[in-house]
């Protein structure tokens, strides 16, 4: 039996870099997490202000979700979809009630959720809208991030994500984010879907103009185009509502979810829509060995119950307002803009003052973990169970680091 006992952070980082190369991670090695706090292998304590890209909205190792995981793990973890299991139906029923849709299709990763939505939209286009075979178009937004699969990177605006991974998947066109008129002009008779994020997280916490999603929903309805809303990062309370689209009273025609659907406990994603759309998918059209497995289903039920019982969306709304107020008091020439909703905050640093990464590294030295995005933006997305006193401390540290 090999010895896997924890070594020093430096040793683990060195070993990691020898066996994998696809991430430029911050120099911290997490060993334990509880609530909003994580600890490295040396026992140093950090306030987690990334929350695994919003997967840990409920906090690290939430007792209720841990209990559900343990309980189900001792009974049945995987049945595959070749057979039924006694948990999935109740999970999907709860998810449908939470989202307001009638049908759900469970998968594992966020990117799988996006791929699922794209397949549903295309088949709907051919069977319901009667678009000529293999001519379906899907419109996306400049600056998007929907995952790393071959099809998804094919319509990315980030050159690195798709360079040398071709041939790229056709059938996509991109329009400026936040510009409803550009969307309207791009729609053709072959357009079957418009895929967008209500706030672009990886793109730099980009918030569209007020009313944009409502305009998009109206345009899609008027032109017979499905609105595919990617709420993988923004969903489940992150922006101060159940879903960010709720600010504009829309959840799209197809709602894509992941991350906090499992409270960070297990890979779970799902797509929800109504039967008139979902029913184009027939047995054998799509699937996953692990999608809807009983362990994931038990975890998903508990994760949703925590969101409801602890009023986390409402909490995120109030705490986000409080935190943005603290940030507004920071007077620094380095700050270009602070933007976001709820507890999804981006602090953009002016280019003449350098990039955001060194500031994130300094915050790490002060006991706060966050991550830069698009080089200039410090992203602040803590677990939604954070307290005002902890947010105040984060603001104080930011003020000193930006001084």
Q: Which strands make up the sheet holding 30-34, listed edge to edge?
A: 30-34, 37-40, 45-48, 368-369
CA pseudo-torsion sign 21, 369, 13, 39:
negative
Active site residues: 145, 230, 259
Q: Which strands make up the sheet holding 191-196, listed edge to edge?
A: 103-107, 269-273, 254-257, 226-230, 191-196, 137-141, 172-175
Count the Cβ atoms, other than its own, within 10 Å of residue 102.
15
Angle at Cα 172 formed by Cα 171 and Cα 173, nearest 5°? 135
DSSP three-state, residue 239: coil
Intra-chain end-to-end CA distance of the chain, in Å: 51
Q: Whose CA is closest to 324, among 303, 293, 345?
A: 345
Q: What's the CA gap between 294 and 300, in Å, rounded? A: 10
Q: What's the CA gap between 361 and 372, in Å, rounded? A: 10
Q: Whose CA is closest to 145, among 53, 55, 215, 240?
A: 53
Q: Whose CA is closest to 379, among 344, 349, 403?
A: 344
Residues 6 or more apart from 325 whose CB is under 8 A from it?
none
Find out whether the peptide bond into 167 is cis, omega within 30 degrees of 0: yes
Q: What is the DSSP letter of 277?
A: H
Q: What's the CA gap between 67 and 70, in Å, rounded? A: 5
Q: What's the CA gap between 43 and 103, in Å, rounded? A: 45
């Amino acid at each position: 039996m090999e010895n896997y006992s924890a070594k020093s952070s430096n040793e683990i980082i060195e070993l990691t870099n020898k066996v994998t190369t696809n991430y430029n991670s911050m120099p911290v090695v997490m060993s334990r997490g509880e609530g909003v706090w994580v600890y490295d292998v040396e026992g140093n304590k950090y306030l987690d202000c990334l929350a695994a890209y919003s997967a840990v909205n409920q906090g690290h190792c939430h007792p209720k979700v841990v209990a559900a995981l343990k309980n189900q793990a001792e009974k049945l973890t995987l049945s595959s979809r070749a057979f039924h299991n006694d948990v999935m139906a109740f999970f999907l029923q709860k998810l449908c009630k939470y989202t307001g849709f009638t049908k759900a299709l469970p998968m594992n990763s966020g990117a799988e959720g996006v791929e699922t939505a794209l397949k549903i939209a295309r088949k709907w286009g051919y069977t319901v809208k009667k678009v000529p075979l293999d001519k379906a178009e899907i419109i996306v937004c400049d600056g998007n991030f929907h995952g790393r699969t071959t099809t998804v990177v094919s319509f990315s605006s980030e050159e690195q994500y798709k360079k040398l991974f071709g041939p790229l998947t056709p059938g996509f066109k991109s329009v400026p984010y936040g510009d409803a008129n550009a969307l309207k002009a791009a729609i053709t008779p072959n357009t079957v879907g418009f895929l967008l994020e209500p706030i672009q997280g990886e793109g730099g916490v980009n918030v569209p103009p007020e009313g944009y999603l409502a305009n998009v929903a109206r345009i899609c309805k008027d032109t017979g185009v499905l609105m595919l809303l990617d709420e993988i990062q923004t969903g489940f309370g992150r922006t101060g509502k159940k879903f960010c689209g709720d600010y504009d009273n829309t959840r799209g025609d197809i709602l894509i979810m992941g991350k906090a659907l499992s409270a960070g406990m297990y890979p779970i994603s799902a797509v929800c829509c109504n039967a008139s759309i979902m029913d184009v998918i027939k047995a054998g059209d799509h699937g996953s060995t692990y999608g809807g497995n009983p362990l994931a289903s038990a975890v998903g039920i508990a994760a949703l119950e925590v969101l409801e019982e602890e009023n986390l969306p409402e909490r995120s709304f109030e705490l986000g307002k409080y935190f943005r107020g603290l940030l507004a008091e920071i007077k620094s020439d380095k700050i270009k803009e602070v933007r976001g909703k709820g507890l999804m905050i981006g602090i953009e640093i002016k280019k003449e003052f350098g990039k955001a990464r060194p500031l994130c590294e300094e915050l790490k030295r002060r006991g706060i973990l966050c991550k830069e995005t698009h080089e200039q933006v410090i992203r602040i997305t803590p677990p939604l169970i954070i307290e005002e006193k902890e947010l105040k401390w984060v603001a104080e540290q930011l003020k000193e680091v930006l001084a």
